[in-house]
Structures are given as C-alpha cells and as structure tokens.
A and B are shown apart, each in its own frame.
Chain A
Amino acid sequence: MTTPALEVRELTVRYGGTLGCADISFDVQPGEVLGIVGESGSGKSTVLGCCGLDLQPTAGVVRLSGRDTAAVVGAQRRRLRNQDIGIVRQAAHEELRLGISAGGNIAERLLATGHRGFQAIRARVDRVYHEVELPAGRMDAAVATFSGGMRQRVQIARALVSEPAVLLLDEPTTGLDVSVQARILDLIRRLQRQTGVAMVIVSHDLAVIRMLADRLLVMRQGRVVEAGVTDRVLSDPRHPYTQLLVSSQLEV
C-alpha cells in the first residue's frame, strides 16, 4: 500500500472550554478526493485548519506524506505549507494580498521556498496562470481589480504552483454566481485529475461534494456521524442527520 498523502488520527481541538472537533480519523491517498460536509459550526473548518497547519491539535496526529506535522515547527512548518500544501479559501482576501498582482500572489510561494531566478519564476507563474484560464494580459494587475470568480482562480493557481501533495479547499465556490461556480468546479476537477493531487474539500453544499468527492465525511457538532463512498452516502444515507441533509438539499 502507498503512503497516504494525508493521515488524520483521533484529532481533537478545543478552544478554551469549547469543542472544535473530536476524535476525527481519516486517510486521503494520492489522487483521491475527500469531501467533508456539515452545517456551520460542525467543526469541518477546524479539521481543515489542522490539515493546513493553521491550527494546533489539542490531541491526535496529522501526517503529511507520512511525516508527523506536530514535530515540524518554525521555518520548516512554513516551508511545508508553502511547498507541500495548497489552500483555497472561501474568502480570497484571507489567502491573497489584494494590493499585489495576480502573478505576485502566485509567485510568493516560490519566493518563500528559495526560488531566486526571475525568468524561471516568471515562466512557472505564467504557465499555471494560463492553466487556470485567467485572462491573458492581466497577470501584473492587482488582485483587487479581479472579480470574485477570478480571485478563486488566482487562489487555485497559487495553491498549485508549488506542485503540492495535498490541496485543501474550504467552501471554494460559496458566494459565487451559479454559472461561475460551475465553471470553477469544472476547473478544479480537471486540474485535480491532471495533477493527481490529493484533495480535501469542505462544503455545506452536497452538490459540490457529489461532483468532486470520491469519499465523504458527514460532521455534526464536532464529530463524524457518517463516512463512506460519496455515491453510497448520498443515495443511501444511514444516519438520521445525513438523511435530513440529503432530503433537504438534493430534492431541489
């Protein structure tokens, strides 16, 4: 068996007296897509935060390509985030510098991991910029001048430019127009298959999960209530909460 790209074991996070998530375990193999679904406050973003090394687990283990991330601190931790993990967030401004050009935002992860040849950086940024189908001629324009959908594309390019082992998406299309949303989901699916990156996508929207995820975790109040292959969970939900979620969303 290959080493999973991402391994989470008995992950628990507490904020002071409040529970973020409890006893979460899962693997994501290279090339596989895991969906995490649940309402807001269910703990799914907490799980993703630990995978992205933004949050420190209270207990449990997060391994990245077999390596225990708790032992990785300081400059190494930052390098890991800039090299081996790509993140796409719902709010683009949390990940992007709006006053900096699209190209600069993409280049930053290369600059942070020691790339120092301008032409080589420029060529790599240019390639991924066009792969995410951003308009030619806008690469040196500030991200602040980009629409919501374009900003998500910049985030995807930024995440993928370092050729990461794991891509984490936190509600990547929430808040976008339906048509824009569909095109970006198509893009994510195409690039995921093309690169073979392991992916975790968090969403409250079952349509997004159904389109992208191979397997699925359903979370509620910080715990996993149901897990399984996406088609099985969505066509034959067993936990009453999943049944409620499926009936309320997929009938539309």
Chain B
Amino acid sequence: MAIFLYEIKAWLKHPLFYLFCCSFFLFSLITMLGTGGYFDEVLNAKGKVLFLNSPHALSSISFLLAKFLLFVIAVLGSYGLYKDYRNNAHAFLYSFPISKSAYLNGKLGSALFAIIVVACVTILGIWVGDMMLGVANPKIMPKSSVGYLVTLFVYFVPTLITSGVLVFTVVGTTRNMYSGLIVVICFALLQMLSEQLFFNQKIVLALVDPFGQNAFQMATQHWDVDLKNTLKLPINYLTLMNRLLWFIIALSCYALFYKKFDFTYVQDKKFNTLRIKKSKIGHVNVRGTKSIIKVRHNFSLISKLKTTIWLMVYDFGKIVKSWLFLVPCLFGIIIIFFIQLRITQTGEFNLLPLTRLFIGAPLTFYTVLVVISTFLFSGLSIHKAKQHKVKELVDSSPIENWQFIVSKIGAVGLMQVVQLILFLLVSVSIQGLNGHYQFELDLYLYHLFILLLPVLFVWNITSHLIHTMFTNVFVGLFVLLVLWLSAQSLESLGIHTNLLKYNYLPNLEYSDFHGYGNQLKGYSLLQSYWLSFALMLIILLTLLWHRGSLFSVKEKYSLAKSRLKTPTLLLLILFTLQFVWKGNKIYAFELEDQNQVKAYDGKSFEHYKANWEGHGSSEQPKIKDVDLQIDLYPEEERFVAKGQYIMENQSKVAIDTVFVRTGFDENTQLHWENQAQLVKADEKLKTYLFKLNNTLYPGDHINFSFTIQNVTNGMFSRNSNVLKNGSFIRQDILPRIGYQFVQHEVSLTDSLVHKHNYFHRDATYVNLRTRISTTANQTAIAPGTLISESLHNGRNSYEYRTGTPVKFNFSLHSATFERLEEYYKDIKIHLYFNKGHDQNTESMVAGLKAALKYNTKWFGKYPFEQVRIVEYPFNEGDYTATLTTNNIPTSEMLFNMNLATMKDKINLPFYVMAHELTHQWFGNKILPADAEGAKMLTESLTEYITLNIYRDHFGEEMANVFLEAQENRYQRGKKSAKQEERPLYKVLSHQEYIAYGKGAIVFDKISSLIGKDKLHSVLATFLEKYGNESSYFPTTNDFIQLLKTKTNNEQYMRIKDWLTQL
C-alpha cells in the first residue's frame, strides 16, 4: 500500500500526468463540440439525426479515443516500474524488505489508477461538451448518463486497463520503456489484423478484437436510427465474452511476469561484470602518447562530410538492428499483405494486383508505421547519448553541430527510405506471387520517393526539432502525435484550410488513363509549402541544438540568439518569405475554390426550397431534340459546347413560364432569341425562371440554344470533366428543365403515378445529334452512329446521330484508345480501352454477344447498328458500367478483373456487359414510372434475364454460383441496411440488395413456377405494351396485373406473395 500511495503521489506531482489529462480533456471536448456544430451554424435539421450522447454514439466515439489514448497508456503503464531501472534505484530498492506483491501490485495499481484518471478526464471532456451543446441542440438527447457509464465501464476503461497491464508486463520483462510503445502499436494493429483474418468469422472477430469494437458492431448491426437514439445498451453476450477474454489474457500475462519476477535476479547485463585473468591486468604500458604514433586528425570539409556520412550510417545501422524497428516492419508487411488481399479479393470478384492498388490503401496504412517510426527513432537518436550517459563524451568531441544534425536526420531519412523500399519489395513480391509481372516500378518509385518521401522528410525534420526542444522523449512523442492528428481535429473545429493542417496532404488516386490527373498540382503546391516550412525548421534546429547539460530555457534562448548571425538570419528570412508566399498562394486558391459553389449542401438546399417552392407542380415543356457541338481540349482540361433544344408542350395545359437549371460546374449562357424574358434568377444555384413571350399551347414547340464552358479546375477542386486522357462527360453539363427538388419514387397509389418516367422529368425520348472534336491523338465518342469523322487543324472531329429517339442518357468520351472490333450478326461491337487493358475484353464481348442473341430472340430487335464498350478511369464514376444509348461506359476496374483466379466466382466482365445490354430493353425501351418499385422493372428483370443468359452460356452449375452470389448480396445488404426492408414491388432506388439480389432470385422462382417460356412471354408482352411509351409509364402494379392474366390463380397468389410480401 505504501508503494501504491507513494507512486500515486508521484504521479500527482508529475507535469506529464497533467499534460495528458489536459490534452485529452480538450481533445474530447473539441471533438464533441465540433461534431455538435458548436463552431458552425447549427442547422435546424429535419428528419432523424443521430444523438451524439446516446449510449451507442458515446461507445462509438470511445473506440476512436481509446486508440489515441494508447500512446499515453504506453507511458502511464510503465513509467512507475521503469523509473526504478532507469535511475538504478532497483539496485538498492530490491534489497529492502519489500514483498514482491507489495512492489509489483503497488506499481501496477498506481499505473492503472493514472490510466483510469486520464480515461475519466477524457470522457469528462465529452460530458462537458454535451452540457455546452445543451438539449436545445438537435443532436443532444436528455438523460444521457447511462451512455457515459456504459462507455466508460464496458468499453473504454477495460480496453485501456487491458493494454496498460500488457504494457506493464512487457516493460517489466524487457526493462525497456520503449517496448511499451511496441505493445500499444501491436494492440492497435491486432484489431486491423483480426478484421482481415476473420473477415468471414464474425464471432471469432468479435472475441479477438482487443477493443471490443467488432462485438459492439455485432450487437448493434441491426439497429436503425431510432434504436441508436434510445438508451438501449449496445452490449450483447459477445461483448462481455470479449471483455472477459482480454481481461484473462492480461491477467495471465501479468501472473506469468509476477511468477518470473525476482528481486535478486539481476537482469541488467551491465552488472554482470567481466572477469579477467588477474595476470593479464597487472601490467600497464608506461609510454608517452605523442611521440610513438602518428595518425591524421583531419578536419577538412571533405573529411567532415565523410565523418557525417559515417555517423549517419552508424546511427542507421543501430536503427535497423533494433527490434523497435523490426517489429513494426514485420507488422507493416502483414498489413500490406492483408489489405491488398482485402482490396483485390473482395469475395465477389478478384482484381489484378495492380501497382495503383498497392499505392492506395496498403500504402496509407503502412505510412502510419513509417511516421510513428520516424517520431520514435528521431527521439531515440537525439536522446540516446543522454540516456546512456555518453552525452558529455560525445558533446565534447570536435564535431560540428551541423554534422550531428545532418547525420541524425540522414539516419532517420535512410530508415524511411529502407521502409519504403521494403514496401516496394513486399508489394512486388506479392504481385509476382500472384502471377502479375507488370510491376510498374517507375510508378512505385515516383509515388514512394517523389510524392511520399518529401512528406516523410518534413516529419523527419519536425520530429528532430520537437525532440530537441523537449528533453523528455515521451513529451516530444506526445506533441508530435498531437500535431499529426491535428488535421482531423481542425476539421471538427470547422477549420478546413490546408494552411493549418500540418503536413497533411490528400490521398492521391492513380489511373492508367491520366495518372494522378489534376490532383497533382494542389498536392505539389502543398508539398512545397510544407517543405519550405521544413527549411525554416532546419534553421531553428541549428539554433536550438545544444550540447552539454544543464541548459535552462533562458540559456537555450540566449544560445539561439547568439547563433542568429547575419547569414543564418538571412536564410531564415528567405525561407520564411518563401513559406509565406506559398501560403498566400494556397490561400488565394482556396478562396477561389470557395467562391465556386459546386454541389448542394444542406444550406443551399434550404435556400433553394425557400426561393423556388411552389414551382414544383407547374407543367413544363419536354426536350424532344438535342443538337450539340462540343469541342474538347484535353491538354487544357476544358471544353466549349454549343447546343440547341427543341422542346414540346406534351401536357394538356398551356405553359407560359419555363424553369431552367444549368450545370454547377459549368458556365452556361441561354439564348431564347426573344422568345422569353428572364423574370427570376439565382446565380448561386444556377436556377432561372423565364416567362415566355408567347404562351406554349399543348403540342406546340419552342427551341432555345445555349453555350457551355466548364468552370476551370481549381488548385484543390475538380470542376471540369475533361481529363488529359479518359474524359467522361455525362448529360448533367446540359441545361435541365423544371423544378429540381420534386418528390421522386412516389407511392404506387398516387393519382399521377404514371405521369413521369423514373429517369428524367424533362425528357422521355429525344433525337440527338452530336458533333464532337478533340485532339489528334484522341478519339471522341458520343451516342448513336458515327456519321462522319475528319482530321482538321490537328484536331479529330466526329459527328454522331442517334437515328431513332433515345432515352435522355448520354455520355461523351475522349481518350487515346486501343480499339477492338467484333460483330454479332450485322451489329458492330466496338471496344475502346486503354492500352494494356485487354485482359478481359474477350469475356466482355462474349457477354455482349450472348445478351444480343438472347434478347433479340425473346424481346425484339436491337435498335442500333452498333454497341460500344468505352473504358473510363476508375475514379470517374461510382458504378462499374452503365448503358448510355448504344454506349456502355465501363470503369477501368472491370478491365482490371483477375479472371484467372475467379473460376468459382461470377465472370463479372461477362455478367456486367450482358446486364447493361439487357437494359436496352428493360430500362430504355421500358421506362418505368417514377414510383416506388421502379427498380424492379429495370434491375430485377434485367438481373433475371442476365441470369438466363449466364445459364445458357456457362451452364446450370455456374448459374447456381450466380444465384448464390445474389443471395449473399441480399443477405449482406439486409444486415447493413439503414432503412427498413421493403417488398420487391415497392423497392426504393438505394435498396440495391433488394432490387438486384432478391429480384434475381424471386424472378428465377417465378420462372420455375410458371415456366421460363411463359415468364418470357409475359415480359415480351409487357415490352410490347409499354415499350417506347411517352405518355404512360408503367409501375410494378401494371406488371403484376399482366402476370395475373397469364397465370392461374394459385400461381398468381404465390407470385403476388413473393413480390408484395417481405
């Protein structure tokens, strides 16, 4: 008890303890306030919002806080025990009549006491934030104390205590405080590792996750917003088992350590002195030192450089031999392996192990380890001489300060380089082992050493400066971690500027089409901004670097001041000016970006509704004819377009106002040629109301023209769809007619349910003529048939026409494509893809051919002369492929499928192409009404047809794989759904797990019930009845009615049950 109380008193007197308490109190307080909108304008959010102080939300946030607190645990858990070794106090302390239990339990008890206090103070920060936000805040619920108790005593404190006991045990065993850091890093990584290892074994995962987070997720996986907002406890038996398991693990480790611990056992080898034969030490050479030997003590610049390099290599050698380096590296290798596995083998499909995938998520996680290693080893390097009491010997040597600084920074820099090389080697090995030999070493080298290493260099310099400023290595580490994590906290505070996010650079995405694209400009500017700052820090480092001991802050300051001679001052001013100049540039670019409102946020939505409400129900003319001329300038990432709409009043009432909204990322001029007057405009929301000079009566036509230019790309924002290679432009650049925020997917019982189609209110089927031009080395593609092409003035020009009216769904492309040409009967199949992406083209063509064969047999003619698959960069769209007229824009991702390893999985390239082409009938020919269940008529039917195509092509066994995949998709979606499940006939657009997964299964069952031929004849009738219809858009009820007429009562009742019940 005496030791316990003594240690507690020691903690209460230690400034580090208060630093931790204050920091985490403020961190949690700011996080709570930031999330609660304390620093921003709070919106009167309508609808359901998640309470921040419900047991569910508090437990969720505690997992994040626990990870941040782990570093503190590494110190708190071990300091009391370690200080006895560090100060050699154990040499006499162990001879005292203290019992082992009093000593170890006292030390452990006090460590846990300190941990619990910091944990409580952290949660206190949240509670104070809760109080400051107050119950008036829509995100705050009253009576939240239960949540705090659950968070604290079920998740937060047990996790911290477990890690604390493990840290105590390991540090006690190794007698090295830094081993505590490794324990907490492993603790954090163990969660990530177990998530990879036990991805499909949720119960095991819930048990082995040291934070209990996966158990929490299992306990709450089916909770909707309402449940999450109640006082229901986010705990189940797995949570308790998890807590118990880790408690037992920690206790067992401690028990083992306790058993092995021995006061008389002198582990430290420095006390195990060497025994030398007495005869050998009797003699001493008595000679002068000067006259006998001549060696050169060389202090020339070359020699100093050589010495600096020698020291750098020496320090580097010590780092790489250290287990503090080797253990994280081993974890790094494991991380790379599992994360790439997670990305390339998703369960549904396998991707080729491409370099761009490795430099994505695996590298992001790996970089965390590199940064932590940088913080740690720079601290160890700076404090090493002091720690081992060699400082006075080293500091009195005739080495210049700059030699020490350069060698230490260089050693850590070399370590970073080695870690990056290790990443490269491991990644390339994994690629090779998977049979992928296109290593793209140039991409690795560029990404790792040109893009990433400078960022790590800034951390290297920062880390050395911070550790020079703070004499305690753990304070230095703590300050660095706070700095590192500050970027996210600034976001919580509503501070979004890059100027203050310390050395924070956005994640870059790489596409084979256009590399990093325009992200690189902003990245490079930020990189040079922080590098300029690092140069300033180097000057500061040289000023603050001190040798010897007993330096007070005053002495350090006066020493720095005395070193600030004219050349140094000039350099400092120069670097500062450079930093300020770049900062000013960034600020100007950010201001420019801010001035361009890009998308609707909550505020603009409210603004729109307030300004324009009431226009939603007015009749508007529909677009009938589109004539577009668009010139693409890929090098300049811009386009200029001119176009004309012919519109028709298809309603039964006269129209005298037209409502137009133009593209957000475009500057559009509308030309009415004296047919209409602008009566109201909202430039911010690009919304305009025109009064027609002459009333437009039913059946009348009106035309207007427009010119469009994209808003130029900002330094940190993308405004233009034109890329240097791989442009993919959708119809959203064009002006749209009508009020935009109407209610979609209306009830099936709505009286106007058949009035609008699901896709567009302002158009049904239109004629489209596109004249498109691009640079000579690129091919431009638009919907329809290619009428003409020419090369003029170094530019390729093309004219496309649709020939027949098509759905208002366009895509325009421009890239340097490889082209593959095939035929299905007299229909041309063209594949446009990036060079080298030809692995899966055969399957894609097979999919198209099979779909053409199947659909033309059952559902009628394909309306175009050709079908084109056009590849676009993987980060340009959020879908794998889509059908736009006779083009199928397809993501680069589909071209990167690793089909060779997918023998037991769906042939995705085949399936996607068959699916998209089938939409020509179910989705284009049939335009469902804008009502609930619309996706059953597009996606469910298409999935069912695709299943049949798949069955015909690959056989029954693979069709079962297809069905199994759909079943999995349904079950998975059901588990993670945030909204209640709906029956298939009322499925909503975002409920893809129902529309696709369940849809395919249900229609396959109907097919089995009534026979494939009969179902197909129903589908054919449905197409015949409602296909290409412009005035009556069918709903699921129409389809069910049709089924009723074609089936007997028993069959119908069963079918109805499947479609209308859950």
Partners in one complex: no
Chain B residues in the interface with A (C-beta under 8 A) = none
Chain A residues in the interface with B (C-beta under 8 A) = none
